[in-house]
Amino acid sequence: MNDHVIYTQSDAGLNQFFAKIYSLVGMGIGLSAFVSYLMLYPFRDNLVSIIANQPMIYYGAVIIELILVFVASGAARKNTP
């Protein structure tokens, strides 16, 4: 029985690509967790006072988030073959 797996050069390139993408995703999740920790514990009072006293900052953040989601989804749709 021939159970030997043969990797081509394109497989190696694809593996490097996915390793890079997964490392970027991991760093993004780590940064998001770090910022969430900072906003929940050390800077909780500052965050609450900013949201309570400046509601436009909250609405601006929500609008920017929605714009980023739509831009990213549009770019992902253009990336399909």
The answer, yes or no, to whether residue 1 has pLDDT greater than 80, is no
pTM of the full structure: 0.66
Q: Which band of pLDDT confidence, cut at 50, 70 and 90, is reported for residue 6?
A: low
Closest CA to 39 of 26, 48, 27: 48
Q: Rounded mean pLDDT of 64-81?
A: 90
User: What does the pLDDT look like over 12-67, one tens digit per residue?
Assistant: 788 889 999 999 999 999 999 999 999 999 999 999 998 899 999 999 999 999 99
pLDDT of residue 11: 77
| Residues, the chain | 81
pLDDT of residue 2: 61
- H helices within the chain, ranges in order? 9-40, 44-53, 55-78
- Residue 49 to residues 35, 55, 78, Cα–Cα distance (Å): 17, 10, 41
- Given a contact cutoff of 8 angstroms between Cβ atoms, the answer to whether 57 and 50 are in contact is yes
